[in-house]
Amino acid sequence: MLEPIQAQFGRINIRSAYRSPEVNAKGAENGNQYNCASNESNFAGHIWDYRDAEGHLGGTVCIIVNAFVPYYERTGD
């Protein structure tokens, strides 16, 4: 799924994607110093293989398309 994006726009960076519940829980410890929310709020988000409170499944990925960084820095959009 990412190869066509990279072929069109050049290099991409994946900043965040799937997290196991164990890794996410560790990231949420100690006052959330690693910017991870609780497991329950990440179900069907960064934790793809657990349903959220409403029964939904899904996945969240943060992808940086490097070709757009100069535009964003210039415009903030």
Distance of CA 6 to the CA centre of its chain: 17
- Is this model's pTM higher than 0.85 or not? no
Report how far residue 59's alpha carbon sits from residue 3's, in angstroms, rounded to the nearest whole number.
Answer: 18
**What percent of the chain is modeled with pLDDT above 70?**
97
Structure tokens at 38: 């609780």
**Amino acid at residue number 27:** G
Per-residue confidence band for 37, with pLDDT thresholds at 50, 70 and 90: confident
DSSP secondary structure of 9-69: H--EEEEE----HHHHHHHHHHHHTT----HHHHBTTTBTTS--TTS------EEEEGGGH
